[in-house]
Amino acid sequence: MPPRAKSVSKSSSLQFTSSSTIYIPVSSVASLTGYHEYSSTSLPSSLLSLVYRGAVGREQLGVDCGALDIRIQTPYEVIDEVTSKCADPSSVKQSLVKLEEIKQRLKEGKGGDIKGEEVRKIVNNTLDEKNLGEGLGVKDREALREHVRGGIYTTAGTAWESSALDLYSQICGSAVTNRNETVKEWRFGDGWEEICDKGEGRDGAMLCVIGVADGIRDEYYMSSEEGESEGGMLSVRSIVVEMKNRVGGKFRQPLYDLMQLAIYCVMHGVEEGELVECVRGEGGEKGGGEVQIKATR
């Protein structure tokens, strides 16, 4: 969600606080480098969050805005403003409330009866042209679309991840382990770089890409020495698994997800990874109804 500046009649002395390492989540690399097709409107806020990190950063942001005589709108203030411009603000607001209720239930682990089709129907209704109207500008449409889809799709995907990984383990016959277990860091300093577990790297990094893979599975295969025509020996290789619950109901292999998977492969020192997609029909968290799994290596 893009921050929007508004002029305010407030003055404050400008303070400066030095920042150490800038941390970038693996899932944000594509957005920050311009390779995420749905995150163009969130780039300004993403950059701000890197500079003004945590409680201290938010406090400093307030001080800096006061010194510059501006105010940064919160994401929800932006959405309220966009909603008021819609052709049917009441319908859009009702849909947003429903989505927030579903998100809260999913976060609390109470979303077992929530169906993928139900979520898609509310999202589509929110973004229906008759509700938005022809007068809503392109940037406002993008901001609303990102707020609606991004929030609920991410929340539902996280809530349904474990059951999807269980199902994939059954399908491929190989248990997906190390699920969201080891936080890895790819640290960049002045002329050096290193990959390590969180908290174990050297000091002085200017930039750090940080993240945790959804899981890793072992795959057995027959390896052979160069020149051998047949036979070989039984070997095992590790494969990084990145699970994506496609709440939107379609299989996709977007570049930004493949970039995320590739970074995790580098972090774990493995050569192969699988982007696993799960599309649910009438199924909820426990996998009822039609559930389809597709893996791209």
Q: Does residue 130 belong to any structural domain of this protein? A: yes
Residues 172 and 106 in one domain: no
Residue 70 burial class via C-beta count within 10 angstroms: exposed 0-12, middle 13-18, buried 19 and up = middle
Q: Does residue 37 belong to any structural domain of this protein? A: no
CA–centroid distance for 223 within its chain: 36
Q: Does residue 246 belong to any structural domain of this protein? A: yes
Q: Does residue 5 belong to any structural domain of this protein? A: no
Neighbours of 29 (CB within 10 A): 19
Looking at residue 41, what is its pLDDT?
59
- Answer whether 95's CB lies under 8 Å from 130's CB: no
CA-nearest of 148, 139, 179, 135 to 76 is 148
Domain boundary, last residue among 132, 159, 186: 159
Residues 137 and 174 in one domain: no
Looking at residue 229, what is its pLDDT?
54
CA–centroid distance for 69 within its chain: 33
Residues 150 and 222 in one domain: no
Neighbours of 185 (CB within 10 A): 20
Residues 225 and 264 in one domain: yes
- Answer whether 62's CB lies under 8 Å from 72's CB: no
Residues 170 and 150 in one domain: no
- What does the buried/exposed string (b/e) look like for 33-62 if buried means 16 or more CB atoms within 10 Å of the residue's CB? eeebeebebbeebbebbbebbeeebeebbe
Looking at residue 45, what is its pLDDT?
74
Residues 171 and 271 in one domain: yes
Residues 131 and 237 in one domain: no
Residues 167 and 251 in one domain: yes
Q: Does residue 3 belong to any structural domain of this protein? A: no
Q: How many domains does the chain have?
A: 2
Q: Does residue 153 belong to any structural domain of this protein? A: yes
Residues 170 and 256 in one domain: yes
| Three state DSSP letters for 210-278 | EEECCEEEEEEEEECCCCCCCCCEEEEEEEEEEEEECCCCCCCCCHHHHHHHHHHHHHHCCCEEEEEEE
Domain that holds residue 170: 163-178+213-296
Residues 172 and 279 in one domain: yes
DSSP letter for 194, please: E
Q: Does residue 30 belong to any structural domain of this protein? A: no
149: tokens are 């889809």
122: tokens are 């509310």
Domain boundary, last residue among 159, 188, 221: 159
User: Digits of tens for pLDDT over the chain (297 positions)?
Assistant: 444 544 443 434 444 444 578 899 999 999 888 888 776 656 677 778 888 877 888 888 889 988 999 888 888 888 999 999 999 999 999 999 999 999 999 988 887 778 888 888 999 999 999 999 988 998 899 889 888 888 888 898 888 899 999 999 999 999 999 999 999 999 999 999 999 999 898 888 999 999 999 999 999 888 776 655 566 788 899 999 999 998 888 898 999 999 999 999 999 999 999 999 998 765 444 444 567 888 888
Residues 130 and 168 in one domain: no
Residues 132 and 171 in one domain: no
Q: Does residue 125 belong to any structural domain of this protein? A: yes
Tokens 């696993």 belong to: 276
